[in-house]
Structure 1
Amino acid sequence: MRTESEGVRTAPEDAACPHDLRHHGDAEVRDDGSALVDLAVNVRADTPPVWLREHIAASLSGLAAYPDGRAARAAVAARHGLPVERVLLTAGAAEAFVLLARALKVCRPVVVHPQFTEPEAALRDAGHTVGRVLLREADGFRLDPAAVPEDADLVVIGNPTNPTSVLHPAAAVARLARPGRTLVVDEAFMDAVPGEREALAGRTDVPGLVVLRSLTKTWGLAGLRIGYVLAAPETVAELERAQPLWPVSTPALAAARACVGAGALAEAARAAHRVAADRAHLIAGLRGFAAHGLRVVEPAEGPFVLVRLPRAAAVRDRLRDLGYAVRRGDTFPGLDEEWLRLAVRDRETVDGFLGALGRALETG
């Protein structure tokens, strides 16, 4: 394994956990009585679309019956070209992290950070001692598979990674796989990447691969809770045994079927290109603040960007006063109080934010 001086930091497994792993972007907008323009939550704005709301509403007439997930499961399987035995529907990706932590018998789990903190929180809650591989800003937060300990029997990585917006090459991620290891790849934001390049969803040739997908980000369904696991049938069966009965509601199942249909996939593909254009506009504007010490992690490939900024906490507070909520970065292992995550929004919203950021930097 490489040493810190060579570019990767490996946190000891028994290290204290000073980061608030339960802090999420919604806290940035819920803790304020005023209406804030939300650049803190990574859910696509102006969603769910009308057609999807109407489809979900139509499912309410069936609430007297217990949920039947067979059709939704088959639809997800068809979307990825997999047999249904390789699909497990979950109440969002967050439930999947809990199932993995509780159901799989692992001895040395490792999480590659900075990334979404729920996987580590779930593992800790299940009694595991969690190792960390901390990717560095100097390397662009890019993955070196050799940095992961050989004896890790569970490895978790996001792609594209929240909050860095780094898209790791699929080949590099697949190199983490080996016999006796479960490789968990969180692809919650992959459908926001044009062409879903570097995706591993649908692959059956990678040993121990578990891919998690969420339908809440692109479609604005965070309040409905719907996601799914793609894995070997024996892994799916093990996770399913740990689920409560009827874990996914009838409206969520209706949403799952709708969001993996051909029309929805085409709409998501168009949205991914819009996000890419809006992200480029945001990054171009942020570069104008380089004189203030602001640096953007590039290339960014997700529907959010990570920036480093002196006095970031003060600037964040000033932005709140100006009506804008952004995500603090110091709750992510590997980052500190100088980091902020910004969700990509439409150009009009971004232009308003950039104006507010300029004022905040002058006084924050």
Structure 2
Amino acid sequence: MPTPTEAGAGGAPEHDLRHHGDAEVRDSGAELTDLAVNVRTGTPPGWLKARVAASLDGLAAYPDGRAARRAVAARHGLPEDHVLLTAGAAEAFVLLARALPAARAVVVHPQFTEPEAALRDAGTPVERVLLRPEDGFRLGTGAVPEDADLVVVGNPTNPTSVLHPADALAALARPGRALVVDEAFIDAVPGERESLVPRLTGLPGQVLVLRSLTKTWGLAGLRVGYVLAGPGTVAALAAQQPLWPVSSPALAAAEACCEPGALAEAERAARDVAEDRAYLLARLAEFGDLTSAGHAEAPFVLVRHPRARWLREGLRELGFAVRRGDTFPGLGPEWLRLAVRSRDVTDALSAALAKLLPSDGDTSR
């Protein structure tokens, strides 16, 4: 069973919590196939670009988030006062770090590092629960300390691609605790299986679910996401926001992405991702020293290789950018994260790997 450790203390290694996948492709000076950033390729789609472009005619007016907030609330079957629109899900981590005081904050790792970074910036000590590869990076019973009053967990988790059962997450909710579930990638899971949103209003304590429109819709540069929580929690977070925190184009995108046609498109994309991920894992299995971790359910996979840094650099020379894993607490230098792409890209990646690695059973190299 994983035991909590104090971040950056007690012998726990430090990690670069502000390193993200875009660093692998930014300022590279070369044309690289991007397997480091988990944004769906070919996005935003044309219809969404048109909706955002149409909003530009109203830039002289201050942003009005009421329509987008209504759309998000209707999309999830929640009252409007349960929705807070944010400048990307990353802003929500800063807001909750400022608005939710915690005596014992726990972040379940490996996961997206911004929640811990935001808490530390706000002066909140952070303990880490480190999930283990031998357990498939799954959250076990009793992993989180009973007296933790703020718990942050991702689902599906970046970078492990593990989808925790909603029952396991719901069991973490209790009076006196704020449970934060980062569902930034849940719309890439067919049917949004294991989402905690349907249970949101029936759980004890404070429960916050964070969503992003970045991954499926290709809106990283627009910055739009939202928080779903009880009205008191939403009000506390909103009090930490500046005036007009979400731009008019971002609000237009949020409203558009909640429409029935958009939701149907997202579901089709999620099913395509599942098929492409299975194909990627099958091709990676051809290389004996390259092993995948856990049971992948997200639009990326976590893999392990004893010379991962060498492999990452070799792939870069061959035109592929992949995400290093050692900046995630709980992972070491032997880990890499790869975004799921189309089969032709996976075949090209496999050809590059074949130049660097022996195939399964091949000891000639």
- TM-score tier by shorter-chain length is over 0.9
Letter in 2 for 1:354: S
Is it true that 1:24 corresponds to 2:20 in the alignment? yes
Cα separation, 2, equivalents of 1:34 and 1:14 = 35
Which residue among 250, 253, 259 is the counterpart of 1:252? 250
Is it true that 1:267 corresponds to 2:283 in the alignment? no
With over 3 angstroms needed to count, the CA separation of the structure-2 counterparts of 1:74 and 1:17, relative to structure 1, is: farther
Is it true that 1:12 corresponds to 2:12 in the alignment? no
Between the two proteins, what is the percent identity of the paired residues? 70
- 1:34 deviates by 0.5
Which residue among 274, 285, 296 is the counterpart of 1:276? 274
Is it true that 1:41 corresponds to 2:42 in the alignment? no
| SS at structure 2 position matched to 1:242 | coil
Which residue among 296, 299, 302 is the counterpart of 1:300? 296
The CA deviation string for residues 155-193 of structure 1, in whole angstroms up to 9 with x for no partner, is 000000000000000000111111000000000000000
Is it true that 1:197 corresponds to 2:193 in the alignment? yes
Cα separation, 1, equivalents of 2:252 and 2:78 = 20
Cα separation, 1, equivalents of 2:210 and 2:296 = 21
The CA deviation string for residues 109-140 of structure 1, in whole angstroms up to 9 with x for no partner, is 10000000000000000001100000000000
Give the corresponding residue for 1:59. 55
Give the corresponding residue for 2:213. 215
Structure 2: runs of 5+ lacking an equivalent:
359-363
Decide whether the 8 Å contact of 2:8 with 2:14 is kept in 1: no
Decide whether the 8 Å contact of 1:38 with 1:325 is kept in 2: yes
Which residue among 151, 156, 172 is the counterpart of 1:155? 151
Cα separation, 1, equivalents of 2:213 and 2:347 = 28
Letter in 1 for 2:201: T
Give the corresponding residue for 1:3. none
Give the corresponding residue for 1:124. 120
Cα separation, 1, equivalents of 2:153 and 2:141 = 11
Cα separation, 1, equivalents of 2:13 and 2:228 = 30
| SS at structure 1 position matched to 2:181 | strand
Cα separation, 2, equivalents of 1:326 and 1:193 = 22
Letter in 1 for 2:302: L
How large is the RMSD of aligned CA atoms in angstroms?
1.3
| SS at structure 2 position matched to 1:42 | coil
| SS at structure 1 position matched to 2:139 | coil
Decide whether the 8 Å contact of 1:66 with 1:246 is kept in 2: yes
The CA deviation string for residues 305-336 of structure 1, in whole angstroms up to 9 with x for no partner, is 00011100000000000000000000000000
Give the corresponding residue for 1:146. 142
- 1:17 deviates by 5.5
With over 3 angstroms needed to count, the CA separation of the structure-2 counterparts of 1:321 and 1:14, relative to structure 1, is: closer
Letter in 2 for 1:205: G
Q: Which runs of 4+ in 1 moved over 2 A?
A: 360-364
Cα separation, 2, equivalents of 1:273 and 1:21 = 31
| SS at structure 1 position matched to 2:329 | coil
Give the corresponding residue for 2:234. 236
Is it true that 1:339 corresponds to 2:322 in the alignment? no
- 1:13 deviates by 5.1
The CA deviation string for residues 255-311 of structure 1, in whole angstroms up to 9 with x for no partner, is 000001100000000000000000000000011112xx2110132000000001110
Q: So what's the TM-score if we normalise by structure 2?
A: 0.96
Number of corresponding residues: 356
Decide whether the 8 Å contact of 1:9 with 1:136 is kept in 2: no
Cα separation, 1, equivalents of 2:294 and 2:269 = 21
With over 3 angstroms needed to count, the CA separation of the structure-2 counterparts of 1:146 and 1:325, relative to structure 1, is: same
Cα separation, 1, equivalents of 2:119 and 2:27 = 27
With over 3 angstroms needed to count, the CA separation of the structure-2 counterparts of 1:96 and 1:341, relative to structure 1, is: same
Decide whether the 8 Å contact of 2:137 with 2:294 is kept in 1: no
Structure 1: runs of 5+ lacking an equivalent:
1-6
Is it true that 1:113 corresponds to 2:113 in the alignment? no
Cα separation, 2, equivalents of 1:315 and 1:179 = 47
Cα separation, 2, equivalents of 1:11 and 1:352 = 41
- 1:64 deviates by 0.2
Superposition map of 1:314-329 within 5 A: 314-329=310-325
Give the corresponding residue for 2:361. none
Decide whether the 8 Å contact of 1:14 with 1:129 is kept in 2: no
| SS at structure 1 position matched to 2:208 | strand
Cα separation, 2, equivalents of 1:358 and 1:223 = 35
Cα separation, 2, equivalents of 1:273 and 1:295 = 24
Which residue among 151, 162, 165 is the counterpart of 2:161? 165
Cα separation, 2, equivalents of 1:98 and 1:13 = 18
Cα separation, 1, equivalents of 2:111 and 2:335 = 13
Cα separation, 1, equivalents of 2:84 and 2:280 = 36
Q: So what's the TM-score if we normalise by structure 1?
A: 0.96
